Amino acid sequence: MDRSPEDIGGGQPVVPALAEVALALDSDGSRIAHARDLAAAFLDEVEHAHGIPVVTTTVEIVQLIVSELVTNARKYAPGPAVLHLRIVGTTLQVGLWDSNPVLPVAKSPDPERIGQHGLEIVAALAQSLTVEPTPVGKRVTARVALCPAGTASTN
């Protein structure tokens, strides 16, 4: 079975995805806006093709998470990277694999610090955040509920 870089490592059982898409990212950072647009289009397709409601706020949160993860990968991992979006149940998994083996560590909140808030932002917005080494590099995965309980689709 062929496996992409973002699927290597972790040793966790693979859960079938309802829908998924991946985007290879260049090392120059030129595809960050494309990654955000891809995330919005993917969520729109999930809502319309699979009938899973996705609120507008969730799309905006996912775009911010994608932007932060891709920006960090481009800043700290000069080699290849892959963004992987997959729907499992009513949860979106936003995975970012990059070739840098150094695992990021969220810094303590500091309103005086300029920059280096990306991981803090992702952790605050996601239901969960995992960082795991892979045989080549690492994978950061944020999980986001597509339609939080008690909300209705507003798209």
Cβ-contact 80, 27 below 8 angstroms: yes
pLDDT at 29: 63
Q: List, in sequence order, every residue forming a beta bridge with 83; answer none if it has no partner.
A: 23, 96
What CA dihedral angle connects 144, 14, 33 and 41, to 10 degrees?
Answer: -70
pLDDT tens sequence across 108-130 = 777 787 777 788 889 999 999 99
pLDDT at 28: 67
pLDDT value at position 24?
Answer: 92
- 69: closest CA among 14, 6, 8? 6
Instruction: For the chain, list the domains and their CATH numbers.
Output: 20-145 (3.30.565.10)
Strands laid side by side in the 128-133 sheet: 19-25, 81-88, 91-98, 138-145, 128-133
Q: Which pLDDT belongs to residue 106?
A: 74
Position 132 scores a pLDDT of 96
- pLDDT value of position 16: 74
Structure tokens at 11: 């040793």
What pLDDT was estimated at residue 109?
Answer: 72
- Residues in the chain where the model's pLDDT stays below 50: 1-12, 153-155
Which alpha helices (H) appear in the chain, and where do they start and end? 32-50, 56-76, 118-125
Do 76 and 25 touch, CB atoms closer than 8 A?
no
Write down the pLDDT at residue 3.
Answer: 39
Tell me how far CA of residue 82 lies from CA of 27, 98, 115, in angstroms. 11, 7, 23
Please choose, from the candidates 55, 82, 65, the residue with its C-alpha nearest in 3D space to the C-alpha of residue 123.
65
Residues 6+ apart with CB under 8 A from 116: 107
Task: Provide the CA 58 distance to its chain's centre, in angstroms.
Answer: 13
